[in-house]
Structure 1
């Protein structure tokens, strides 16, 4: 009998946006896979250390090293490299060596991803679409990375061209709203009001919204109403507009 709540589907992963800003991440290896990992974690503002003999670096990783975008150790991995590390990513062709690194990480309780060995991964990398602050990840739980890439491209192609800019403007409005209504008990009302704004304004309107528009729109927060952009630009403060609101 089907219940009133979502059915449990085991075998998945918990998809999270992992904040690694200023965390120390060790990348073992310097080939193509390592290059992709390095880009992802540098984009997340992590501190990256690469361990690999110079001869094993591809052009992209060598560029990151030469530009001082990463710290670099020119040799093979040693257990002492795990000291002070928050996360480990291995991208080498030696499965036995990768397994040993994973076991050391388990002992030290350091989350690790062993490329091409799903059973020895505490987390997986998905295929990611990035548009400013917007990030969309597609994961196949290690079953088909290439397929994840194909699905990600199809999703990205279906998105409005200005979605990233709209997200950016909404984020700015949210930060301003928190200054207007900073108390914790205002949380539910803030969320409900922001939801109305996102649902009732088009993406083009959200992109077009200026800081002046935001300040005027915030005047409608107290009565909990969301007028149109046109109404906001009429300059009616503090919900004084007496025409029809979009509720």
Structure 2
């Protein structure tokens, strides 16, 4: 059997509405009416009225509450009535009284007794879509409403305003206006302006996910390093290895292995963050009492390969500002030569001065590295 209901849109704010009942069902109906026609004149009658309904009375001056039993006189000057009572026999009696007064009635959850239904409504500005399942499944109507609400873009109201302006400017008879408006809407939809909205939302979600992953990698790297150092310190303390470690570090033949260990630790962090190798290696090697020239030479020797690979990747992807490269190229050469000569000449003899300077500069480098990571 097909749905024989005829959908109409009422100017409810020009009519008078009576609601009988003051529980949760009445609250749901009341919120639905106010959500679509907030200035409707509403009279609500019930023996008991829940606090949520009274809250709405404080928000809307067009609502009048009567905490008492229903009376036949309540149908006077009433155009529509919504019955939200638990007693089916009482609902039937109220419906008969309403029919005698020529008042249309909706009885909650009783389709057979209804003169009209309250459908699920999709709202997008001036666009409004009412959904009816002929009283068979309000749940399906609700799910369809959620689907349409999500599918229709929020810009639809702007589209309707533009179409109204175009319609007002069109000259000609009704058939001409229909043809022109059909042509405009067809071109609009074919351009993908409506369908592009879900793609934008997906891209936004992907970007948010990537940012969250980067931050998670940074936190995991920091936590991992702290755990490794903490575990190492616990082992040293538990087995009293401090003297043995000092003896081991004083052996010149083992400094290479400690430098290898420092590089491995730094690469764990740099692999997750994408940066920080030089800063971490400098900090660890200075703590191991390695001379500053050796620290600089070892770190830059290792970084020359990774930096070359990264530079080649950026060049192949077209992510290089060639003009800026040629400006910085001579300055970088001059700065690196001066830095290498200065450190090699003064690093050995004035290590007691150079090390504090590097130690003060390193925390600033850490701060800048983390800021760049979070900005990504």
TM class by shorter chain equals 0.5 to 0.7
Q: How many Å apart are 1:108 and its aligned residue?
A: 1.8
Aligned to 2:50: 57
Residues 26, 87 of structure 1: 8 Å contact kept: yes
Aligned to 2:123, the other structure's residue is in SS state strand
Is 2:178 aligned against 1:191? Answer: yes
Is 2:121 aligned against 1:128? Answer: yes
Distance between the aligned counterparts of 2:185 and 2:30, measured in 1? Answer: 34
Question: How does 1:89-100 map onto structure 2 within 5 Å?
Answer: 89-100=82-93
Distance between the aligned counterparts of 1:117 and 1:107, measured in 2? Answer: 20
Residues 119, 130 of structure 2: 8 Å contact kept: yes
Q: What RMSD, in angstroms, separates the aligned Cα atoms of the two structures? A: 2.3
Residues 162, 204 of structure 1: 8 Å contact kept: no
> Alignment partner for residue 5 of structure 2, among 10, 13, 18?
13
Distance between the aligned counterparts of 2:2 and 2:42, measured in 1? Answer: 34
Structure 1: segments with no counterpart, 5+ residues:
1-8, 206-247
Q: How many Å apart are 1:118 and its aligned residue?
A: 0.7
Aligned to 2:205: none
Structure 2 vs 1, CA of residues 88 and 155 (structure 1 numbering), >3 Å: closer, same or farther?
Answer: same
- Larger deviation: 164-173 or 116-125? 164-173
**Cα deviations by residue, 1:79-114 (Å, 9 ceiling, x for unpaired):** 100001010011111211111111111122211101
> Alignment partner for residue 167 of structure 1, among 156, 160, 183?
160
Distance between the aligned counterparts of 1:193 and 1:143, measured in 2? Answer: 40
Question: How does 1:1-247 map onto structure 2 within 5 Å?
Answer: 10-42=2-34, 43-44=36-37, 45-53=39-47, 55-59=48-52, 61-67=53-59, 68-174=61-167, 176-177=168-169, 181=171, 186-202=173-189, 204=193
Residues 19, 44 of structure 2: 8 Å contact kept: yes
Distance between the aligned counterparts of 1:69 and 1:163, measured in 2? Answer: 30
Q: How many Å apart are 1:126 and its aligned residue?
A: 1.4
Higher relative contact order (CA 8 A, sep 6+): 1
Distance between the aligned counterparts of 1:51 and 1:172, measured in 2? Answer: 45
Q: Which has the larger radius of gyration?
A: 2
**Bigger helix share:** 2
Residues 23, 86 of structure 1: 8 Å contact kept: yes
Aligned to 1:100, the other structure's residue is in SS state helix
Q: Give the total of aligned pairs.
A: 189
